[in-house]
Chains A and B, each alone.
Chain A
Amino acid sequence: MMRSTLQQRLLPLLVPGLILATWLAATSGDDFTAQVLVPPVAVLDSFNELLASGELTDHLRASLSRLLLGFGIGSGLGLGFGILLARSALVNDFAGPFFQAVRQVPSIAFLPMLILLLGVDEGFKLAIVAKAAFFPVALATHDAVKGISKGWLEVAAIYRLSPLRVLFRLILPATVPPVLTGLRLGLTRAWIVLVAAELMAAENGIGQMMEMGRQMFRIDTVMVGVALTGLIGFALDQGVRLAERRLVRWKAV
């Protein structure tokens, strides 16, 4: 029994272990030049070096502040627009079709256009991050507000609940879970698009670090970048999921 649980525990480590062993074996000889593959230790060294020099912290700070600012703008506008789109027939008639049409175009396809319009400075990065966050949030908000059943509002009217109570006891609880899902989607998409934008044109940031690494054939820097990009994306997603769970605790699952 003991043995089988131990086996169960170790099994998932088998394939990563094999990959690591192959990696170590491949880099122990002179088969690969440092431009193609470096040993795992070199990647770790490179990480420590980048961290000690403060370079990595600068890149991370640049990327994350862009992400937060752009996401803040985009999701704020998305929330407002989503509510308007759901509540006002006029807004829906006039802006709905255009909104749906623009939504069909992947954010990344707007990069060249924004570079031409706004130049390669901060503006275009914020704009693309905001755009990437705007659409999922607006859509989720629209659906959430549309999803409030008329029956609930009627019951609230019968009980003569004050508008504040309607807001806090009915509208917010009904809309917060789907809107949070939209926010999570917007945040992860914003991160992906930001990395792409920094790969294209930036002075700093994690994407630029990787792009420089590629141009200088520093595969260790590139690998540090890839791992960090994944970790940050994962942390952002899990962070919002945690918030989702805490905020919708009352919901019977």
Chain B
Amino acid sequence: MPIKTVLTTTINRVSILDEHGHFDAELGNGLIPDADLVRLYEHMCSCRQLDEVAFKLQRSGRMGTYPQNMGQEAASLGAAYVLNRDDWLVTCYRENCGLFWRGVPVESILLHWMGDERGNAMSREHFATPIAVPIGTQMLHATGLAWASKYRGEKRIACTFFGDGATSEGDFHEAMNFAANLDIPVVFCCQNNGWAISVPGKIQCSAPTVAQRATAYGMDTIQCDGNDLFAVVYCFRRAVEIARSTGRPSFIEAVTYRLGDHTTADDARRYRDQAEVDAWRGRDPIIRIRKHLVEKSLWSDAKEQELLARVEREVAAAVERAETIPAPPRTDFFDSMYAEIPPDLLLQRTTMQTHGIGQDPSQIDGAVIELPAKSNH
């Protein structure tokens, strides 16, 4: 036969708790214990509260540009829930919920977007890399982090998150190609929220799924309803099992939607229809879990009121902590540049000047050079 088929492939999509509240008991029962489900729900509500507060802070001039996570809480939360606490979590900027599950303080995220590097000073014990701003670049770091585990014979894996826009960047392809060909245990999770700022998903990927891109690299791949926490948890359990038992990477496309603007500097009304946004509001990951909890008699209006009051208090307290932390000293940006500050940089730090005379008072008669107080940072 001169022409024969050498590959046919299928992409499976997982949906367990759909937008209408239908629950697939076969896949869903026992997937998340009731007590955990309540806690996961509370985390999503907390994350949503932060988004609403952060938006108002930005609008009232108390915070800079902020990217809301609204509508995308489930994917990173499901991942963080399934992963071990010492598996690497390598995120971009719509994974707050997963980072909070890991224990990253809310005020760290606030500080970051308030223009303070100290928001990135995550504790090593979180096994999380700082929020990656360039698109897709962090994926390669995840591959390297997991490679190090393999090198050391550890069981620790890495999980990385990125958006549909990132799938157009070279780094996306390089990260997956390295992981697949060098047998590195990474879970790649694309939060396909349909929009890269104003550019619709079809400009990034004209194939019917993003998930099938992973097939080209020879790795296992699956698509899920990214607004369905159960489906996300199911897919991550599967992916983590692949990584730990075979050392291979795999791919999850979590289909979701950015309910808010790209950031507070964006106005999505310029480029997308309100009808589309409204339709996705009905698929909100938080609403369906709440309904499910109510149906299982795990939740009530009273508990809801209590929770909302609590997250309001907690986020307000985090805002207060972030806003009342003393500003960093002026010299702060010199102090983490190198393990040991080079002499010339120390001179710049000491004088806060870059011109030769200003940095060397002895060159000018009668000059009064005020040296800033040395910081203890």
Q: Do A and B come from one complex?
A: no
